[in-house]
Structure 1
Amino acid sequence: MMHFLFWILIFLATYSFMEFMAWFTHKYIMHGFLWSLHKDHHKKDHDSWFERNDTFFVFYAVVSIGFFLLWKYTSFWAGLPIGLGIFAYGLSYFIVHDIFIHQRFKIFRNANNWYAKGVRRAHKMHHKHLGKKEGECFGMLFVPFKYFKK
């Protein structure tokens, strides 16, 4: 039983830590030295459904798979909840950012609860800046409370 509780705590901690990693990566890497991969997300300069920005997904997928492999092929039991936490955050990010906000698939268009409105408002403020240096609100799932006010 105790092992299962540790598993759940590690999963939840990993999921929560990934929001920090998303913020950090977005602010200092995507809007930093890897702007060349991210800029097409702010100013679409291509006709493809895919963006160069999508390569960041691949990085975190590889990290998640690495933890699954550590769990499977070594005695590192925490690799499973860490890998699942990264995967679950990635799935949440995809649903909120790519599907809900950017409508890459035309579903969740009518979500209008307080959380959906706040996240959409925060992301809209981030995207009003087209350049590398300007910007605000680099997080995704946990955004400042000011965006939830009417």
Structure 2
Amino acid sequence: MDSWIIKLLVFLTSFLAMEAVAWLTHKYLMHGLFWFLHEDHHKKDHPGFFERNDFFFLIFAIPGIICLAMGTLYQVDLALYIGLGITAYGAAYFFVHDIFIHQRFKWLRKTDNRYFKALRRAHKMHHKHVNKEHGECFGMLWVPLKYFKS
């Protein structure tokens, strides 16, 4: 197999694996031990543009930065493409979650796309729960089939 195919597969696998990491982290850490950082994200009345929840951006960025540094400074191809996959997921998360869903910037407000409508419905159901218990829909890109209906 050509090396560019392997690199592409490592990148794609890393990107897709981040959805599982995000889901598990969101369900068990953000809605668990680190609720004190995530709680303001579930409230509408937090002051200012930034939330304590935004610290998770830095927490999630660290593995990507480490992998990118190892890949570029020490020529570790595997680490580089894992870092690129993590970073691409972080960018997708920012655009989908912060811009599209939460409208932190007033872009992409209207869509007739079935997937994007389901994505918004699922996230709205997640935010229906203002406490850390009884949550649902902890992922970002994976949308359960029931949200495609109606």
- TMscore range, shorter length: over 0.9
More deviation, 133-142/67-76? 67-76
Structure 1: any 5+ residue segments left out of the alignment? none
Match in the other structure for 1:11: 11
Change (3 A) 1:36 1:45: farther
The one-letter amino acid of 1:99's match is I
Q: What corresponds to 1:22 in structure 2? A: 22
Q: Which residue of 2 aligns with 1:64?
A: 64
The CA deviation at 1:80 is 1.4
- The one-character-per-residue Cα deviations of 1:52-79 (angstroms, maximum 9, x if unpaired) are 0011110121211100111122242111
Gaps of 5+ in 2: none
Alpha-carbon separation, structure 1, partners of 2:75 and 2:47? 46
Moved over 3 A (4+): none
Partner-residue secondary structure (3-state), 1:78:
helix
Other-structure match for 1:148: 148
Partner deviation per Cα, 1:74-110 (whole Å, 9 max, x = no partner): 2421111111101111111111110011000000001
Cα separation, 2, equivalents of 1:15 and 1:118: 21
The equivalences for 1:103-118 within 5 A come to 103-118=103-118
Structure 1 match to 2:39:
39
SS of the equivalent of 1:36 reads helix
Q: Structure 1 CA distance, aligned partners of 2:135 and 2:44?
A: 17
Structure 1 position 144, deviation (Å) = 0.6
Distance between the aligned counterparts of 1:147 and 1:46, measured in 2? 28
Partner of 2:50: 50
Question: What does residue 94 of structure 2 align with?
Answer: 94
Specify the alignment match of 2:131 in structure 1: 131
User: Which letter does structure 2 place at the counterpart of 1:31?
Assistant: H
Aligned residues: 150
RMSD after superposition: 1.1
